[in-house]
């Protein structure tokens, strides 16, 4: 079965510290992975996707098929990074679906 | 402004009283989808639509109906709401069409409480 696991519900770091939000997936096909972010009082929005291999707001994420992971990283966290982060997997098995993890709330302390 | 619009933002109802949550997008997107968000469970897909008159079940479709008569609208219908449908609902759309790697655009959410 397809599944996305985000093991940390809450992650708290100090400003300037590195941050890594973990995401593991389960999917037998070729995965397409995304990170979505929800800032306070804003709608959920795309942060980045693995096919683009881009860096957005200093965040990067590398797909590791061997470890079935797609961890989100930033070398120096900022207070404005505080938000809810969701890892998502797009699959075509049984229809076109996007499967979300339970989310990780990142809190960056001053 | 390109966006997905959901209405209402908040809704309190009673068990068994039919309700509809509307969703509209102005981006000419082919793909639209409904999710519910519950604490500790993230977003779970209820129904999705690949195009007009094409809908399919997601992971938690029980108790919900949808229709896609026009490209821009994708209403979510609860024929007989029950308390376990109390949740935060999100509508989303994507240009993807036949391509699965589509960026999802989300509405602002509808907080539903069923008493």
Minimal Cβ distance to B107: which of A43, A46, A97: A43
Minimal Cβ distance to B90: which of A44, A46, A96: A44
Bridge partner residues of B56 (DSSP): B48
Q: CA-CA distance, B29 to A42, in Å (whole number)?
A: 21
- SS3 state of residue A50: helix
pLDDT, residue B98, reads 45
Minimal Cβ distance to A96: which of B48, B107, B109: B48
How do residues B2-13 score in pLDDT, each as one tens digit?
799 999 999 999
B99 has pLDDT over 80: no
If one compares B71 and B98, the residue with the highest pLDDT of the two is B71
Enumerate residues 56 to 75 of chain A having a beta carbon within 8 A of any beta carbon in chain B.
none
Residues of B within 8 A of A32 (CB-CB) are: 100-101
If one compares A83 and A31, the residue with the highest pLDDT of the two is A83
Check A9 against B40: CB less than 8 A apart.
yes
Residue A102's Cβ-side half-sphere holds a number of Cα atoms within 13 Å equal to: 10
How do residues A6-61 score in pLDDT, each as one tens digit?
999 999 999 999 999 999 999 888 888 999 999 998 899 999 988 777 788 999 99
Contact between A5 and A100 (Cβ < 8 Å)? no
Question: A10-14 and A104-109: which strand pairing?
Answer: parallel
B99: nearest Cα among A1, A100, A51, A13? A51
Burial B96-106 (b: 16+ CB within 10 A, else e): beeeeebebbb
Check B96 against A44: CB less than 8 A apart.
no
Contact between A9 and B71 (Cβ < 8 Å)? no
A93 pLDDT band (50/70/90 cuts)?
A: low
B102 has pLDDT over 80: no
B69: nearest Cα among B23, B2, B8, B1? B23
How do residues B32-85 score in pLDDT, each as one tens digit?
999 999 988 889 999 999 889 999 998 899 999 999 999 999 999 999 999 999
If one compares A92 and A67, the residue with the highest pLDDT of the two is A67
Q: CA-CA distance, A99 to B43, in Å (whole number)?
A: 8
How near does any CA of chain A get to the CA of B107, in Å?
7
């Amino acid at each position: 079965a397809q599944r996305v696991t985000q093991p940390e519900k809450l992650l708290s770091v100090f400003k300037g510290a590195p941050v890594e939000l973990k995401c593991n997936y389960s999917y037998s096909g070729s995965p397409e992975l995304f990170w979505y972010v929800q800032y306070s009082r804003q709608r959920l929005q795309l942060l980045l996707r693995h096919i683009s291999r881009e860096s957005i707001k200093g965040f990067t994420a590398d797909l590791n098929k061997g470890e079935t992971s797609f961890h989100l990283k930033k070398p120096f966290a900022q207070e404005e990074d505080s938000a809810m982060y969701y890892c998502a997997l797009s699959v075509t098995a049984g229809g076109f679906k996007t499967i979300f993890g339970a989310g990780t709330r990142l809190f960056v302390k001053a | 402004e390109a966006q997905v619009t959901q209405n209402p933002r908040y809704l309190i109802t009673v068990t068994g009283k039919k309700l509809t949550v509307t969703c509209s997008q102005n981006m000419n997107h082919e793909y639209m989808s409904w999710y519910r968000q519950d604490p500790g469970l993230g977003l779970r897909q209820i129904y999705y639509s690949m195009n007009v008159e094409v809908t399919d079940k997601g992971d938690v479709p029980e108790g919900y109906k949808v229709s896609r008569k026009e490209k821009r609208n994708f209403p979510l219908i609860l024929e007989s709401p029950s308390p376990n449908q109390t949740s935060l609902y999100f509508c989303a759309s994507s240009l993807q069409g036949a391509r699965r790697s589509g960026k999802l655009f989300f509405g602002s959410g509808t907080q539903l409480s069923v008493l």
